Structure 1
Amino acid sequence: MGRVREAVRSRWQVLYRRSSIQMILSLSFTAVAVVGMVFMGLTLFLRFSYTTNAQQAENSQRLLSQVNWNLDAYLRGMMRISDTAYYNVIKNIDLDEGSLTPALELLYGSNRDSIVSMAVFSEEGELLSATPLRTLKNSVSPQREDWFVQAMDKIENLHFSTPHVQNLWSDVDERYRWVVSLSRYVELSRGGAIEGGVLLLDMSFDGIEQICKDVELDDGGYLYLIDDSGEIIYHPRQQLIYAGLQQENNLVAAGYTDGSHQEQFQGQSRQVTVKTVGYTGWKLVAVVPRESLWTNYSQLVLFFLFVVLFSIFLLVFVNLRLSEWITAPVKKLDRAIKDLEARRSDVNFDVGGPTEVEHLSHSIRSMVSTMDHLMEDIIQQEEQKRRSELDVLRSQINPHFLYNTLDSVVWMTENGRTQDAVVMLTSLARFFRISLSRGSNVIPIADELEHARHYLTIQKMRYKNKFSTDIIAEDGVESLYTIKLIVQPVLENAIYHGMAYADGDGEITVRAFRDGGDVCIEVTDNGPGMPEEVVRGLLEGAGPNTGAKGSGIGFRNVHQRLRLNFGEPYGLTILSEPDDGTTVRIRLSALDEEAARRYRKEERP
């Protein structure tokens, strides 16, 4: 260690003897000024951070207390309605002698602004009374629902669910209502005997949402509500979070105690204030980005900037001549690089200056020459790769169409439906006439929609008209151009996964329209929909890529061809939820006749 220290000291002495007085003074003054600026900045920052954090935490806690009071009052009101239904109605009526429905209807009528539905179930899950909706869906088993299980497990408590779409009742209005379910165990009288049951109260989520929605935090902050396990009950960006476009640190916030906390989330420092809502275990969480706390303290920022700018002025004044001599060749080299970025051919890298800068300029000149040759090779290789991939994808899709269509013709022929087979073969001929398109991969959208219409004709005959179809095109869209065979695989998916299980009331709609500089073709069906993992599998190729029916090869084929032809923003987007149908949006660039002609030329090998 001593030898190292001595070597460093000797090195500094050599540098000191070789340096001029101007350099020594400049370096010394710069070092002193920088140290002073850093010390002053850190002192102001720590004091400012402590004061603003304390003030913001106090403001957030005060605001959360007010929201908590409003939310607690709202939930207490719901609990009072539940108590009234239990103690004033259920406990006073024997099921063998009277019905609970009239009294529940009266109670519902006086609270219909905040209550969506009320129902009483036996411990076996049998519906005993309900208002205003009285018919359960055939697919629903109440005794398996979370609210029912929780009420039967902990009979002494009231249980609040997280917000969900009410899916218990058959609603003639076909409305999707967001509710919070309040359930409790109740004792029912039947012929003088006592038996167990469950009282369900579906509260309108609008009341809770309105309480939280009206809250405004300073500095770009926001408030959200979670249950004791971290599930989001309300969030101002709730739809974006459910869609996976944004994230929230709600699971971590569920473990916070009441008070203010500092956290790092997605590279952002945030102040999080938590307040627990009584009875439910829910937590109100106020989030304020710490970066935004600076915006309200402009005077301190201006003072700090003044000190920094004044110090910089002194540094520039002292080191002006020295820095000019050092940076002049570097600036010339920077201008040469900018000329290179602007793709000028006459870039001069002879900038002179110190040995290091001169060596750097020669190295950049050599590197640029090498990169030009490499880029030319890469462009040629990528172009060949793109053409090869497009050829492979086009070779996959025609056998796939032919197999499925001929399968339908064989089926009809074996069953003696000769006339239908003739109609089907006629549609097949027109189908493949458009598919071949004289060898061109780019066809008018009108031909692509006609191609889809023939395919639907064939499939409707195969499925004995179990579904209806409608093809709609916005004015002017049919005269534009598209790569061929992009709608049929999507229709095939809609039929196999949606219409195959329909009972005569299936619907498939194809709609083509302009969206800015793009064209969108949407295929919508009212089938059973698909869960999220199936949607990801269709686009990402998670399922088996075997070419069998339902494997999704045609679907992925369309998505990959659009990406290869038009780029990353284009392709397929799937909007689907179980029991809610499916919409597949095909997005492609709007090609007029001139653009289509250029596209055909670029596509030729």
Structure 2
Amino acid sequence: MRTIDFQNQFKKVRRASKRRSIQLIISISFTIVSIVSMTFVTLALYTTYINKARETAIENNKQVIDQMSWTLNSYLRNMMGVSNSMYYGVIKNLDLTSDSMNREMDILYEANKDDLISIACISQDGALISAAPIATRKSGVDFTEQEWFTSTEEKIENFHFSKPHVQNMFESSNYRYYWVVSLSRSVDLNYMGYTRRGILLVDMNYSSIEQMFSRVNEKGSGYVYLIDSDGDIIYHPKQKAIYGGLMQENNITAASYDDGSHMENFDGSERAVVVKTIGYTGWKIVSVVPASELSAPYNQLRAFMMIIFTVTIFLIVFGNIVISKIVTDPIRQLEDSLKSIEEGSLDAEKVYIGGSHEIRHLGRTIRSLVVQMRDLMDERVKEQKEKRKSELNALQAQINPHFLYNTLDSVVWMIEAEKYPEAISMITSLASLFRISLSKGNNIITIRDEITHAKNYLAIQKVRYKNKFEANIDVDPAIEDCVTIKLIIQPLIENAIYHAVGDLDDEGVIDIKGYEKDGDVYLEVRDNGMGIPPDVLAGLLTEKTKSKGKGSGIGLWNINQRINLYFKNDYGLSITSELDEGTVATIRMPKMTMEEYMGGEGNEK
């Protein structure tokens, strides 16, 4: 059932598509092309812009990392400078057998105490030589077991930076211990010309590094963290959560990255990673920006572009409709003017001429064709009118001899019977008949004149038939001024007399009626004769029967032909008959006064 419904809907769509107008085709075509083009251009521009924006954001992060690297480098160089100053400016110039470095170490600490937690010098065997600001080691602390000490012992030629840790090796009066990053190096200690190896320890304040990264992480998108060469985290904005196992970081993988930008998928999300290595420490500054945050600042731009795209599409659709209307309106007006021609109007002035040059030329061509068609049709109508007039005159010429023959036959009969008064009366009636028959050459007369003509004819026939039949005339006065073709009732009366009541003995009746029905005029001649057999009745109005029967035999066919020719096939003569009952001949014509006929309405019909 659904398949049938779908097929029906598809057929409806196909039928509708066949009826589509030029305006619809132009509007839809231009709109589709415009929308596709706009969509392609918009997507291309948007993709290019987003990619460029991502590149710009990554480049900005690189600049931030570079700035951070420079700041951290400056800080570390400062700490290394403190270590160098202590070593080369103090320790190398002292003989520790008799000299002390406490004063110089205190001075150096005071000068850099904002970034330092402590400075200490430890001998190779773990003895504390000097420290600032506190020179008392906590009981139970073995320097040789500290990570910074063992690292320095393993590689004595470099500076060594430890992981962040709490420095709690020295006694503190307020019991406050700080997070530090220890910078340690191997130094030569002088004892009366003998050199012994020791370790110089500079504990950098971890909060200084923390503040550097915190300031950076408060700005921009994503976050920045610091790792050592092994990937161990030195600083992370969510360091406690990581140590607590609440979140993870891809720090081990980041340690293997070369300096520069990288795209990685971690923990189910894509993100951009920028890496910068601090050369002499091996530390790496890592900037992480989720891909979603790279494009987040451009969500508003995306919404704005969608609004612009929607408004532009609306303007394109509206513009296409307006332009297509401007283009197709002249064609539509030309089509409308052609519809009036299709309906039969040949008024060339109604043919639209406007629009573009091509449409104006087409309109002028059609107007010229309409003028030619109208001239040809006028000539054709004129020819038809002349032909119809000739046919009517020929039919009229058939009637006059026919009637004259019958009447003169009756006059001859009366003269032979020496009935001169009756013959004179008949000739007088005949003269009156011919006067109406001539009608100054007009084939159209009023019904009143046609009834007068019928009365004169009946007067003649009653004399001939010695009043063997009765004739009754009943015509509605409202139609007496309406027009009719002359000499159409007389042949019907003639047929009723010859073929119906003429042979009856004082029982024949002929009723003549005239009335209006449904806006038409009806003239009816009824007799009470023997009726007409069906096989004869069927051919009475055809040309084949015009020579059969008594008299000339052309009356009925003649009447029907003349009415058809003049008033077209909608009107004419009809015959009904029943055996032993009688016959009814009915004429149907349009109701029209002589004034209307003279005004030309009759010709239109």
Please report the TM-score for the alignment, with normalisation by the length of structure 1: 0.45
Please report the TM-score for the alignment, with normalisation by the length of structure 2: 0.45
Bigger Rg, structure 1 or 2: 2
